[in-house]
Amino acid sequence: MPNIIKSYVKGVDTLNRFTGLVTMHLIFVMIGLLLYSSISRTLFDTPINSVVTISQFLMSAYYLLGGGFSMQEDAHVRMDLFYSSWSKKGKARADAFTSIFLVFYLVILLYGAVSSTMYTIEVGQKTRTLIQYPLAPIKILMTLGVFLMLLQATATFFKDLAKARGVTL
Amino acid sequence: MSYEMIALLMFSTMMVMMLTGQRVFGAIGFVAAVAALFLWGEGGVEMPFTAASKLMSWYPLLTLPLFVFMGYMLSESGIASDLYKMFHVWMGPLHGGLAIGTICLMVLISAMNGLSVAGMAIGATIALPEMLRRGYDKVMVTGVIQAGSSLGILVPPSVVLVLYGMIARQPVSDLWLAGAIPGLMLATMFVVYIVVRCRLQPELGPVLPKEERQMPLGEKIALLKAGILPLLIFVFMTGFFVAGVTSLVESSAVGATAAMLAALFRKRLTFKVLETTIRQTLGISCMFMWIILAALAFGAVFDGLGAVKAIESLFLEKWGLSPWEILILMQLSYIVMGMFLDDTAMLVIVAPLYIPLVISLGFNPIWYGVLYTITVQVAYMTPPFGYNLFLMKAMAPPEISLVDIYRSVIPFVLIMIFALVIVMSFPEIALWLPQYFKG
Amino acid sequence: QSTIKWRLQTYAGPALGEHVIKPAIDAFNKAANGEMVIELFYADQLVPTGELFRAMQKGTIDAVQSDDDSIAAPVDVSVFGGYFPFGTRYSLDVPVLFNQYGLNEIWEEAYDEVDGVKWLSAGAWDPCHFATKDPIRSLADLKGKRVFTFPTAGRFLSRFGVVPVTLPWEDIEVAMQTGELDGIAWSGITEDYTVGWADVTNYFLTNNISGAWCGSFFANEDRWNEVPEHLKTLFKLCMDSSHYYRQHWYWGGEAQLRTEGTKLELTTIPDEEWATVEAEAYKFWDEIAEQSDRSKRVVDILKKYAKTMEKAGKPYRYG
Ligand code: NA
Ligand code: NA
């Protein structure tokens, strides 16, 4: 494998690991926010208005930004009826081939994300809540998440390709 | 292209994609993206990402990462092994007692957790090795773990019923309450089966040696304390939600906090445990949510291309079936699809096709939610292809072969089908509790 | 010649859509005789309502039925779509304002500034009442109530201590049951019964903050231009028939369910007290008028119309 691919794979892995390690802490923000809201509402009779909106933002950022890292960690389930019985090399071969489909999906997803984000920025789209939060920041984060997933899918493709040819990256 | 052709093409392509072993979200997302690009017409290319906006508005889905977090916290906190020890000592004198204790353990784990994976992991790591060591029949105990873990999504809380509630637009509190009695009924049926089977074949579940369970009564009673924490967690989470004190999503945050406090109380809440938990939580949540993202796109494209109408007209007009025939056919189709599809994907893709039809046929959607949940569990446990079967293979010790696992589920699948028929014939079993709470 | 196919998504869910749109679309498909087929999709079915406008611009969806407010249409007049506080008193006000007082022209002008979307026609829906768990008998009862309502109506009602909550429409029934909401200010009593909200609330306030909700039909501009003239005419007739159906369905339904409905108890805030809400609304109008020249023109028209109606007296205005 050419050096440039090696460093690309390494770079993507590092980037996604870093993003993932930061993103995984968002769960504490979600727990804290919701706990605060339930205590404030039940004990002090003060409902927090923006909790739903902000939680929705957090949830979207969480699973999209964490996507690349989760693929790196091999967290994504497969229907391994046949797959599980193949050799390591056979698995890598199949993965390298079917990665084309995965990448295709992610490219279309990214196209939609960019197009949607551009619109949001152009018209200054906001939430329809009492406090009107701008949607641009979360849309940008979501697009970034899809992009990181795409990077990871291509890096994984190269890893599988190397494995299929019996070399390690 | 006719609607029927589109429906057939999209489904068969997805199944082929699944069989390649590519990640489930990629397989589904690819079919959605290709169909959107080539069959939708102008603007179809936007459909895959539109699903992300839809998912954002699915606020109750926030319970998913929180329940996953909670599950990991609970297994780290040692609550499960305490509970196991309690059942171990108290049930040991019976033939098959450890297996019965495992079902009881699963009921308690189910009452603290919204997914069935947690139950299976706890069962496979804590209960299974202990039972094997004591000469229990490996086929029977493997079945016990799988059947027991299936209670996870039936006994409240349940993430599957949250998803079902979002799709069917039904109150989650009613669905959770509706799942409780059928869940306990199923657990009882499992226990009865174990008792009867071990009476006929005592060698399947030998009595625990005396020295292992000999301890002063005071100590034995002290073991019961293990049941307090699960009870507290259940009350704080499900109890407060059903009583209307906390909202659904808030209740899952309360549950996550309670699990953390339980771990803290048992001095197990280390920095390392926290880091492992949130790392695993991110992985599992991403797995589920990317599948939902892809499946939402698939579902919307499938719907927009008219394939839903094709299925409806097939059931209602072309075949001229009666409501009950349609219902039974749907349940059978779940079992077939359960061979190829992941559970989340099946819910997000298939449920939106069936639920409106079920409601328009005059069936009660809350009752159907319970039927649905039992059916998908059966589907994942039915050989030769079932999602749970493979999960079990991955978690079980190497001496348990896939053939053992196949054989192990047969009696339990039969029990579950029997339970399904009972709930179908007597809807009150599911509907009594939610109606009682509504007053 | 191949069939023209449209996907039309409404903001209404299936139970409501059965009345407010489906009969008109079914009639259109029958009359179009295979030359054109419109496939109807309900709230959030293909695209979430908040993204509907852009989806239509991109051609993902060919046509939309909604108020301007719900689909967040990027035009200044969208604030008047949905429930503009005290903008109308009766459901006939909407077609009169659009056809006789110049709102048609203003809406056309506003949407012509936006690429790719053609605004087609506006019509009236139901009045905006409160359905609540606890009774509202005075303005003080509104204080602290968490109410599901529309963005513009919510901004206005927050002046009376109402806490407006925005949730996905389909979560409302659950939110009422789990205590996340105290009430709903989204519709009249007909919808409360039709979509099931009457089952989760106990009281219905007879005072309303708007007599008729204003909603429109829109289409992707290219798709609309491709349709031959006779089918355009047919579609206009179809929109009018949807408007017409809602006129009698809601008008009759509101009266019938107030008198014969058994699920909700009626309460009323005395007229003198409610007049302060109306007075506040006129201040709100002036604030909105400052947002743009076009908004000012709309507000001026609303004022002129209100004056005409008051002058005309009974049955247009009582007292
Ligand atoms: Na559970
Ligand atoms: Na335009």
User: Please, which pLDDT band fits residue C57 given cuts at 50, 70 and 90?
Assistant: very high
pLDDT tens digits, one per residue of B369-400? 999 999 888 888 887 767 777 777 777 777 88
Does a structural domain hold residue B428?
Answer: yes
Sign of CA dihedral C276, C278, C284, C289: negative
Lowest-confidence pick of A121-125, B108-112, C75-79 = B108-112
pLDDT tens digits, one per residue of B236-260? 888 888 887 888 888 889 999 998 9
Gap from CA of B438 to ligand 1 centroid (Å): 21
Residues of A (76-115) whose Cβ lies below 8 Å from C: 115
User: Please, which pLDDT band fits residue A142 given cuts at 50, 70 and 90?
Assistant: very high
Number of domains in chain B: 1
Query: Residue B156 sits in which domain range?
Result: 61-269+388-438
User: What is the arithmetic mean of pLDDT over B282-303?
Assistant: 91
CA triple B23-B27-B30, angle to 5 deg: 135
Does a structural domain hold residue B95?
Answer: yes
Strands C129-132 and C163-165: unpaired
Q: Which residues of C touch B54 (CB under 8 A)?
A: 44, 47-48
Lowest-confidence pick of B32-46, B90-104, B141-155, C95-109 = B90-104
User: Please, which pLDDT band fits residue B168 given cuts at 50, 70 and 90?
Assistant: confident
User: What is the arithmetic mean of pLDDT over A30-47?
Assistant: 83
Do the beta carbons of residue B331 and residue B281 sit within 8 Å?
Answer: no
pLDDT tens digits, one per residue of B6-22? 888 888 898 888 888 88
pLDDT exceeds 80 at position B216? no
**Mean residue pLDDT across chain C:** 93
- According to the model, what pLDDT value does residue C141 have? 94
User: What is the arithmetic mean of pLDDT over B39-66?
Assistant: 90
- According to the model, what pLDDT value does residue C132 have? 97
Burial class (CB in 10 A: 0-12, 13-18, 19+), C167: middle
Bridge-partner residues for C185, per DSSP? Answer: C149
pLDDT exceeds 70 at position B121? yes
Name residue B52's amino acid: A
Whole-angstrom Cα distance, residue C253 to residue C19?
Answer: 12
- According to the model, what pLDDT value does residue B188 have? 93
- According to the model, what pLDDT value does residue B166 have? 82
pLDDT exceeds 80 at position B341? no
In this prediction, what percent of chain B has a pLDDT beyond 70? 98
C-beta atoms of A56 and B59 within 8 A: yes
User: What is the arithmetic mean of pLDDT over C245-265?
Assistant: 95
What is the interface size between A and C, counted as CB pairs within 8 Å?
35
pLDDT tens digits, one per residue of C166-179? 777 777 887 887 77
Whole-angstrom Cα distance, residue C141 to residue C267?
Answer: 12
Among candidate residues C117, C44, C125, C50, the one with its CA nearest the CA of residue C81: C125
- According to the model, what pLDDT value does residue C129 have? 96
- According to the model, what pLDDT value does residue C231 have? 97
Which position has the higher pLDDT, B59 or C208?
C208
Whole-angstrom Cα distance, residue C62 to residue C7?
Answer: 5
Q: Where are the alpha helices (DSSP H) in A45-135?
A: 51-65, 67-72, 88-123
- According to the model, what pLDDT value does residue C1 have? 64
C-beta atoms of B304 and C13 within 8 A: no
Do the beta carbons of residue B164 and residue B372 sit within 8 Å?
Answer: yes
User: Please, which pLDDT band fits residue B439 given cuts at 50, 70 and 90?
Assistant: low
- CB within 8 Å of A10: residues ≥ 6 apart: A169
Reported as type and span, the H/E element at residue C165 is: strand C163-165
Q: Which residues of A touch C164 (CB under 8 A)?
A: 49, 130
- According to the model, what pLDDT value does residue C85 have? 93
Quote the minimal CA–CA distance from A88 to chain B in Å.
13
- According to the model, what pLDDT value does residue A120 have? 92
pLDDT tens digits, one per residue of C123-168? 999 999 999 999 999 999 999 898 999 888 999 999 999 988 877 7
User: What is the arithmetic mean of pLDDT over C70-86?
Assistant: 90
User: Please, which pLDDT band fits residue B36 given cuts at 50, 70 and 90?
Assistant: very high
Does a structural domain hold residue B361?
Answer: no
Long-range contacts from A155-159, C-beta under 8 angstroms, 24+ separation = A155/A8, A155/A9, A155/A12, A155/A13, A156/A71, A156/A72, A156/A95, A156/A99, A157/A95, A157/A96, A157/A99, A157/A103, A158/A1, A158/A5, A158/A8, A158/A9, A159/A9
pLDDT tens digits, one per residue of C216-227? 999 999 999 999
- According to the model, what pLDDT value does residue A116 have? 94
What is the interface size between A and B, counted as CB pairs within 8 Å?
195
Structure-block tokens of residue B411: 């009696």
C-beta atoms of B342 and A79 within 8 A: yes
Which position has the higher pLDDT, B233 or C118?
C118
Gap from CA of B108 to ligand 1 centroid (Å): 9
User: What is the arithmetic mean of pLDDT over B158-169?
Assistant: 85
C-beta atoms of C54 and A127 within 8 A: no
CA triple C105-C107-C112, angle to 5 deg: 95
User: What is the arithmetic mean of pLDDT over B94-110?
Assistant: 85
CA triple B380-B8-B348, angle to 5 deg: 45
pLDDT exceeds 90 at position B73? no
- According to the model, what pLDDT value does residue A13 have? 94
- According to the model, what pLDDT value does residue C319 have? 67
Among candidate residues A149, C42, C270, the one with its CA nearest the CA of residue B23: A149
- According to the model, what pLDDT value does residue B407 have? 85
Domain boundaries, chain A: 3-77+86-165
C-beta atoms of B244 and C51 within 8 A: no
Q: Around ion ligand 1, which residues have CB less than 5 A away?
A: B 110, 152, 155, 158
Which pTM value belongs to this model? 0.91
User: What is the arithmetic mean of pLDDT over B294-320?
Assistant: 84
pLDDT exceeds 90 at position C302? yes
Does a structural domain hold residue B29?
Answer: no
Whole-angstrom Cα distance, residue C274 to residue B279?
Answer: 56
User: What is the arithmetic mean of pLDDT over C95-119?
Assistant: 95
Please tell me which of the candidates C58, C72, C158 has its beta carbon nearest to residue A130: C158
Whole-angstrom Cα distance, residue B56 to residue B54?
Answer: 5
